[in-house]
Amino acid sequence: MGVQQAMEALSERAASIRESLQKSETITDNMVSILGSFDHRLSALETAMRPTQIRTHSIRRAHENIDKTLKAAEVILGKFDLTRKAEAKILRGPHEDLESYLEAINQLRSIVRFFSSNKTFKSSGGILNQTNTLLAKAISKLEDEFRQLLTNYSKPVEPDRLFDCLPNSLRPSSEPGHQGDASSKSHAEHQKCLETAVYKTPTLIPPRVLPLLHDLAQQMVQAANQQQLFRTYRDTRSPVLEQSLRKLGVERLTKDDVQKMQWEALEAKIGNWIHYMRIAVKLLFTGEKKVCDQIFDGMDSLRDQCFADVTANSVSVLLSFGEAIAKSKRSPEKLFVLLDMYEIMRELQPEIGTLFGSNHCIETRESALSLTKRLAQTAQETFGDFEEAVEKDATKTAVLDGTVHPLTSYVINYVKFLFDYQSTLKQLFQEFNDADPEAQLASLTTRIMQALQNNLDGKSKQYKDPALTQLFLMNNIHYIVRSVRRSEAKDLLGDDWVQIQRRIVQQHANQYKRVSWAKILQCLTVQGSSPSGGGGPVGSDVGGSGLSRAVVKDRFKTFNTQFEELHQRQSQWTVPDSELRESLRLAVAEVLLPAFRSFLRRFGPMIENGKNPQKYIRFTPEDLERMLGEFFESKTWNEQKR
């Protein structure tokens, strides 16, 4: 009974749920139908609203376009206003207010850029043409202003202004051909002073003008007018630089011009050229570089090209003179000016390398280096010529008194000057090989000395009197030795060389005594032989017997005659060195006086007891000593008689 009831209740509930589900499905279908109806109506509404939306968007876009157009119109009007103002400034020209003028050019450029990037604007092409025309006119006036400004302030520099920029040691004195206090110093001392010398770069264009010229140049470069700018600068500055050099005295000389000149005139011109080179490189070219660097700052290629072309002709004129000297006929006297010229080129090489360091200046650098090498080559060849000339010197000028020959003093002075150029010579030797330059200098000096001695040997053979031959060689070798000992050549030639030459001097002195006095000394020997020969000395008892009165008389007469002849002749000879002269007189006296005293003591009484003793004994030892003191004094015959 209970189960039956439960089943019925469950059945009822299931029926109730089924009914509810059926109702829910109906409601859902109804909701879907309602929602579908809404969607349809919304679509219809949207379709109805679309024209309104489109009109609203168009209106908004129109407003935006109007705003943009108004803003663009405002910008364009602003550009027109700028153009008008710029045009007014351009028409006034740059002279009154350059800064404002340059600002106007920049504004025109800005306007050109604006319309070039907005070519869609109506009439932008016409505006561009008009602005570009105005800009071209502005740049043309700018070029004129640059040229005018540069010309007005480009004046040749007066020599006095340049001299004021030099160190004191190089400033010209009132004497022509001398610089400052340089003439009172040796070459080496002068060179040492130059190492610390201070040069003051001259002001070629007033500093206040340079920034203006720079701004003008910059505008011309921006306008792509580099070549016109370059030509203007070169054609203005180059002649001014050349005029500055001409005012100094620089002139273009050819090899033929140089060859025709007298040596004194040429030597003066070479000295001036060395001075001009210093002034040109250290003052004028340095000043020109400074001007160029400031005007063309930031325009490197144009700057280098301008400097190269402005200086090209001036450099050419200066170097051409050096080339003419280096190529001219060589001669010994030119050696020292060649060394001076080589020296100045070496001194200026660092500045030349710095000033003319750009690719545009390659030709100038190479020309300067080539001249330096050529001068070194010519100087070295001149050494060889000099050595040969010394050995082959055939001067017929006879040195009658046996003194130092002019060739000897010339060569020694030449060598002394060479040693004043020691550092330069060592640099020069290194131009051609890597051998020790000091050894090369020693070798050169030794060869020159040997060449001189060879020549002197030849000249000594011109004398008929062999005694004078020996005196001549003694004087000249002694002069060489004494000069070397007092110079820097001693350190190079060495003590051994000096000692050898001193022995040679002594040998010639001994030969002089032998040749000159051997014969007269024979008169004072018992057997007529030399005291150092087989016979005994004067006063010795040879075989217990003496000389006969007749022989003694003859000996005294012969002695008198020979001594008077020697005195007359050799008083005219010269020994210029006082120490050597006294030494030679003493050496003769030490041989002659003892021999005469001994002969006089032994045989004098034999003559004194006879008739006319004064006829035979004409001299006392004191007379001989006094007269020996007159030897080698270069006295004339008339002076001797007095």
The torsion angles phi and psi of 539, rounded to 5 degrees, stand at: 90, -10
For residue 99, the model assigns a pLDDT of 65
- Please, what is the Cα angle at 536 between 535 and 539, to 5 degrees? 135
Tokens at 294, concatenated: 């400031």
pLDDT confidence bin for 533, thresholds 50/70/90: very low
Helix (H, G, I), strand (E, B) or coil at 7: helix
What number of other Cβ atoms are within 10 A of residue 38's Cβ? 9
Q: Which stretches does DSSP call E strand in 15-171?
A: none
Q: Would you list the domain boundaries of the chain?
A: 8-151, 154-169+198-388
Residue 147 clears pLDDT 50, i.e. is over it:
yes
Cβ atoms of residues 428 and 339 within 8 Å: yes
- Please, what is the Cα angle at 351 between 346 and 357, to 5 degrees? 115
CATH of domain 154-169+198-388: 1.20.1280.170
Count of positions (residues) in the chain:
642
For residue 160, the model assigns a pLDDT of 94
pLDDT confidence bin for 479, thresholds 50/70/90: very high
For residue 48, the model assigns a pLDDT of 72
How far apart CA 78 and CA 432 sit, in angstroms, is 74
The residue to which tokens 């279908």 are assigned? 29
Q: Which of 281, 136, 150 is nearest to 219 (CA)?
A: 136
Q: Which of 250, 303, 252 is nearest to 273 (CA)?
A: 250
For residue 59, the model assigns a pLDDT of 78
Cβ atoms of residues 295 and 210 within 8 Å: yes
Task: Outline where 356-488 has alpha helix (H).
Answer: 362-392, 406-420, 422-430, 437-460, 466-485
Q: pLDDT higher for 344 or 67?
A: 344
User: How far is residue 195 from each of residues 191, 353, 485, measured CA to CA in Å?
Assistant: 7, 18, 29
Summarised one tens digit per residue, pLDDT across range 177-216 is 445 554 555 566 656 666 667 899 999 999 999 999 999 9
